[in-house]
Copies of this chain bind each other. A is one copy, B any other.
């Protein structure tokens, strides 16, 4: 039954298999045939939906980003329409940490892409806008929510850079198994304490 197939669905299916391969064996193991095997389809079909390997990679990178975005959206949702800045940031950033096996798998793929894009500046450029936007958002939340901003002890822009860097770095260390997720979570909270002032309620 050809003709009536959902292209997006097929591509998502294939990208899913790609993610599994990449999570288990790294991006260098991502080949047409491996992905096809993981998706339990023929190599020909993979080739039908992605004419080149690079095309497949670019798509997969987009999938990684969308997954994270969606994850964050769902994590923030229960906080209501106007959440407290600190709680909002904590929910967002904690969600982006590889705290369970699913996020660990995605994290490994994201890390692989980080290294991948580091030697392919053209691909990396697409990520800059996203980072800039996220940075601005975080800075805004800090400016709005931290009492330490007023007296100049905290600079929103610099702190936002630091906070995102902490999140990224914690993720890397957890993925490398250098310390357990709880340690990362504690460090994230400590960082928020530093930025927002210690929270005696915890």
Contact = CB atoms under 8 A, between A and B. Distances in A.
B131 A178 contact: yes
A169 interface: yes
Interface in A62-115: 108, 111-112, 114-115
A178 B128 contact: yes
Interface stretch (A8-16, A42-50, A181-189): A181-189
Nearest to A177: B124
A35 interface: no
Nearest to A148: B194
B187 A158 contact: yes
Nearest 3 pairs of A and B residues by beta carbon: A165-B169, A169-B169, A168-B169
Contacts of A165: 165-170, 172-173, 184, 187
A119 interface: yes
Given A112-B115, A166-B166, A187-B162, A177 B26 contact: no
Contacts of A18: none
